[in-house]
Structure 1
Amino acid sequence: MTATDGPLIVQSDKTLLLEIDHDRAQDCRKAIAPFAELERSPEHVHTYRLTPLGLWNARAAGHDAEQVVDTLLSYSRYPVPHALLVDIAETMARYGRLRLEKHPVHGLVLVSTDRPVLEEVLRAKRIQGMLGARIGGADGDTVLVHASERGNLKQALLKLGWPAEDFAGYVDGEAHPIELDQSAWHLRDYQRDAADSFWHGGSGVVVLPCGAGKTLVGAAAMAHAAATTLILVTNTVSARQWKDELIRRTSLTAEEIGEYSGSVKEVRPVTIATYQVMTTRRKGVYSHLELLDARDWGLIVYDEVHLLPAPIFRMTADLQARRRIGLTATLVREDGREGDVFSLIGPKRYDAPWKDIEAQGWIAPADCVEVRVTLPEGERLVYATAEPEERYRLASCTGQKLDVLRRLVDQHADQPTLVIGQYIDQLDEIAEALDAPVIKGDTPVKERQRLFEAFRSGEIGLLVVSKVANFSVDLPSAEVAIQVSGSFGSRQEEAQRLGRLLRPKSEGRTAHFYTIVSRDTVDAEFAQNRQRFLAEQGYAYRIVDADDVASA
């Protein structure tokens, strides 16, 4: 097989173009996945990019430059630019020239295999205060590290372009028996592979689509650790879902699992805490961080790791001696802090493309449709003369959307449907017009749980929800979602909202995801950005006019 038979075009700007109709495309995609970041995946040609972070992720997972170069050469249709190959080798060689190790006498130390690199970082301002004395005098290649700075140092070194390999190990934590109870179910192969990949690496991130069972991967990691576990989640509803799943799927009992939220403060061998309570400040102090010292935790689980608030990153820096697993559907962060996830939680250990899991039948296929409405003349004038910060609300909340929404709800009257939006007054108006219950930020947790359960059981067929339902809410019965407004151009939110629908449907039915958008406004511009992540995952949006949405 010659290079000209390959499905891949490797370009000097570090992009890789994969022709997916080629008979070797699937093998190629699997081969480049450990080191190349997927940027776009429309119908026929997928675009990947080589980045320093992606190449360092590959090094952390045990791949070397020779393997990366061999992969590109074997699959490339045309000669690979020589400068690119040199750049790959040199970028990957930057990883691991600095190593964090445990010294038998001095404790945590930074060791260098390259003296000039050590001298460079020792003089960097952002490193000041993190390091102690040099062992062996001025010419020594080993420097003491203040134990509390392990995470901060890794962050700083990554930003300097010299990511450290962490060999300092982990404390086992307090042992606590946890076993999977697979009498009525079994881990899927990809779930087992994800948990095993994490465990062999010691810490890191698992990327799986919404609905693919990330909670079960977390449970399998806990069974590997068999130790006290702190689980950090997005909200109280999610905390209770985690608890129910762990009781159902493992040997843990309700008495062994504590909730640490706004209303309950239980610390037990397995404690589930919300990000919100952990980031609550009183008089400038994060008063609940003592939870970190309440037990000798053996494992920390970060649910929806792409949403980690900045204070949790600081907290994570203090937990570097603990094994850590991050679970997410997308490593896209709107704040651009993917590097912090890499340095503080760990590298990506497992990543399964959404369409692969769909092809195996574990998540439902989805039909994504953008419905465009036109603002009436009067609203267009108000929009045109409004302040820029007001325009998105005006475009999102136009009454034109309500008529289309009614028709879509009628069209899917026999299917469990979610109406999702950003603006509370808009959602209240919709709920009243459709005579449907609404869940929003001020809905008490018990009422949220009651309504979610009624929706799951089929007692309620239509539910209006704000962004509180974006994350970690398990609604396997949902078949239709209609989005009327969102968090501006957030790609991660788009992924989470589609994820509400992706649990497999009876008889292999397709899920339907609608976005109602006002044309010729920032609403349409934001919608394009929001859809980018789903396009990268292989989902194509159809665009239809509001007039083409028929009544039932």
Structure 2
Amino acid sequence: MDPSKPLIIQSDLSILLETHHPEFEMLQGKLARFADLVKSPEHLHTYRITPLSLWNAAAAGMALEDMTSCLQQHAKFGVPPAVLTLIRKYTKRYGILRMLHVGNELFLVSDDTVVFKEISAYDSLSKYLSDTRGERAIAISPSHRGILKQELTKLGYPVEDLAAYRSGEFLDIPWRDDDTTDEPFQLREYQKQAVDAFGRVDHGGSGVLVLPCGAGKTVIGIAAMAKASCATLILTSNVTSVKQWKREILSKTGLTSDQVGEYSGTSKDIKPITIATYQILTHRAKKEDEFSHLRLFSEREWGLIIYDEVHLLPAPVFRATADIQATRRLGLTATLIREDGLESDVFSLVGPKKYDMAWKQLETMGWLAKVTCQEVRVPLSLQDRDMYSASEARHQFRIAGENVAKLEVIDYLLRQHPDEPTLIIGQYIDQLEQISAHTGAPMICGNVPHEHREELYELFKKGLLPLLIVSKVANFAVDLPDAAIAIQVSGSYGSRQEEAQRLGRILRPKRNGDNTAVFYSLVSSDTKEQDFAMKRQLFLVEQGYQYEITSWQQEV
């Protein structure tokens, strides 16, 4: 026993980390590579090791010895032998089963004949694993490549996919000559590392890159596309993001506008580079209809499919992805957390995590703004308090979110930051309309035409509009680099992915040289909103941000 050390390792694979220890920040970064943060109270953070967290760490290149030595060197009471055994067991399972091509045939292979016998005994797999070729190889149908990986992951045997990928339709994608641009462009070092990590293994071609909002995931995707030199389908979250991808592609490569198509509700252009929304792919007139737009996956000989914001991938797109495993797949995201719990499907069908970069590390390097996170707890107004007490549980969260007492806090915060570009972000349109009327600032929501949205965004970028009120439509892919203050007035139920996106709105370095920003969350105290805010806080804490909580009493 060494009481000076900061970790307590428990037999259920949970880890307690003392937040006031001098090595807290260093260990926070190391643990995040192979364990998930599940609780973050003031004094002790709780992490949990899972098979998936270990497999992602192994796929990203973290050695088993690095994981176990991290725990052994810093454990207050030592590491239970059972914990070390389980870590070794699960980590070594990644790669026991491999998929690869031999000639024109696809094989599932393993050096462990016992594992082969075990998986072959499952009724759910028997129809896929009947063509044995000796004790260490089974020939499988290429059409079963995805479903097999998905099922084997669920059974605890993740497959390392080393099989070949189709080249797809060739397309030369040159970077734009520096001499022809006003601002010479080149990849940052960590962006180069991310692109290299995507194709690091001998048959690299599938995987997920985890980087913060503002780190340039779009540019990384374009670089991967240029390296692959092939027709590419890009799937993203909304029409605003479609247009931003197209602008970035045209500004940073030698491609022309007639080579880049948009596939959305208003446009159906299929070009060598095609950018589509998840919404259009899963659109159908009636529930019983087919997802007709999923045919886009087979409209061209795509050599690469990019899943932007892969944590939002809808279930029907997962099913389509299972059928195209011979096509290279790149997932981009700020967080692997999914609200539906389908992280294992991202792992097996899009690919394992190949690279991640800590938010605070990029902040230290100067690529992200230095953000202060502050939760302001606001008592319910008398009117809302009575309504809250008389309402059913499912209505209480919204009442707390729309607490009218938050208007007074907004006024105070705007006075505290009079000359700084500010976003007010919320969930409920009625609340945002009230704030818009109260402040005189324009509001952007789903009903605002895209052309008008772009006009308002442009005015904000130019400094002609200091305050902008936005709904959840601005959670994703909105490039407002000079936003310095974000005031979150309401949000989804404990959504860590939403917290990531909203924080991302103010993370970009500021062009005026003041590389600081503040992220405020207004939370109704002693309500369900406060309970869910603790879940959202997890994301900020796991990224290394200090999270300060204050109570509103006529002053913050």
Which TM-score applies when normalising by structure 2?
A: 0.90
- C-alpha change, 1:384 and 1:22, in structure 2 (3 Å) is closer
| 1:437 is aligned to 2:436 | no
2:158 matched to which residue of 1? 163
Q: Deviations over 1:480-534 (max 9, x none)?
A: 1111111121111111111100111233342121111211211211222111110
Amino acid in structure 2 at the alignment position of 1:54? S
In structure 1, the partner of 2:230 is 227
Q: 1:547, CA displacement in angstroms?
A: 2.9
- Offset at 1:443? 1.4
Deviation at 1:341, TM superposition (A): 1.0
Match of 2:337 in 1: 332
Answer yes or no: is 1:134 the counterpart of 2:137. no
1:212 to 206, 210, 215: 215
Pair 1:30–1:461, CA change in 2 (3 A): closer
Q: Percent identity?
A: 51
Cα shift readout 1:120-154 (whole Å, capped 9, x = no counterpart): 3234344365x163234xx7543343322211211
Q: Aligned partners of 1:476 and 1:229: how far apart in 2?
A: 27
Query: For 1:291, which of 288, 296, 301 is the aligned residue?
Result: 296
Report Cα offsets for 1:418-470 as digits up to 9, x if no partner.
Answer: 11111111111221222121111121121211211121112211111110100
Deviation per residue, 1:294-331 (Å, 9 max, x gap)? 11111111111111111111121122111111111111
Aligned to 2:364: 359
Q: Deviations over 1:89-143 (max 9, x none)?
A: 22223223322222435x22323433343333234344365x163234xx75433
Instruction: Report the Cα offset of residue 158 of structure 1.
Output: 0.5
CA contact (8 A) 1:134 1:140 kept: no
Q: Which shifted more, 60-69 or 46-55?
A: 60-69
Alpha-carbon displacement from aligned partner over 1:194-223 (angstroms, at most 9, x marks no partner): 111112142211111111111111111112
- Given candidates 400, 403, 416, the residue that maps to 1:398 is 403
Give the C-alpha shift of residue 410 in structure 1.
3.1
Contact 1:42-1:539 within 8 A present in 2 as well: no
Q: Separation in 1 of the partners of 2:77 and 2:227?
A: 45
Is 1:181 the counterpart of 2:176? The answer is yes
SS in structure 2 at match of 1:508: coil
Unaligned runs of 5+ in 2: 179-183
- Size of the aligned set, in residue pairs, is 545
- Superposed CA deviations along residues 13-64 of structure 1, whole A, max 9, x for unmatched, are 4344567887877776666664344556788876544321122223334555
What is the DSSP-based 3-state SS (H/G/I as helix, E as strand, rest coil) of the residue aligned with 1:547? coil
Distance 1:26 1:127 in 2: 44
8 Å Cα contact 2:25/2:544 also seen in 1? no
* Alignment partner, residue 555 of structure 2: 549
Secondary structure (helix, strand or coil) at the match of 1:336 reads: coil
Q: Residues 24, 399 of structure 1: CA spacing in aligned structure 2 closer, same or farther, 3 A cutoff?
A: closer
Out of 497, 517, 525, the residue aligned to residue 523 of structure 2 is: 517
For 2:80, the equivalent position in structure 1 comes to 81
Question: How do 1:61-460 residues align onto structure 2 when only pairs under 5 Å count?
Answer: 61-66=60-65, 68-70=67-69, 72-73=71-72, 79-104=78-103, 107-127=105-125, 129=127, 131=128, 133-136=130-133, 141-181=136-176, 183=178, 184-201=184-201, 202=204, 203-282=206-285, 283-460=288-465
| AA matched with 1:97 | I
C-alpha distance in 2 between matches for 1:89 and 1:543: 39
**Cα distance in 2 between the residues matched to 1:29 and 1:425:** 40
Worse-superposed segment, 188-197 or 60-69? 60-69
1:182 Cα deviation after fit: 6.8
Unaligned runs of 5+ in 1: none
Aligned to 2:181: none
Q: Secondary structure of the equivalent of 2:354?
A: strand
- RMSD, aligned CA: 2.7
The answer to whether structure 1 residue 489 and structure 2 residue 494 are counterparts is: yes
Q: Post-superposition shift, 1:371?
A: 2.0
Structure 2 CA distance for aligned equivalents of residues 219 and 277 of structure 1: 22
Cα distance between partner residues in 1 of 2:363 and 2:515:
12
Contact 1:233 1:303 in 2 (8 A): yes
Deviation at 1:474? Answer: 1.0
Shift of the 46–400 alpha-carbon distance from structure 1 to 2, 3 Å rule, reads closer
SS state at 2:530 partner: helix
Distance 1:285 1:149 in 2: 22
| Aligned residues of 1:304 and 1:472 also touching (Cα < 8 A) | no
Measure how far apart 1:350 and its partner are.
0.9
Structure 1 residues 47-56 or 206-215, which shifts more? Answer: 47-56
- In 2, the alpha carbon distance for the partners of 1:539 and 1:63 equals 24
Change (3 A) 1:62 1:432: closer
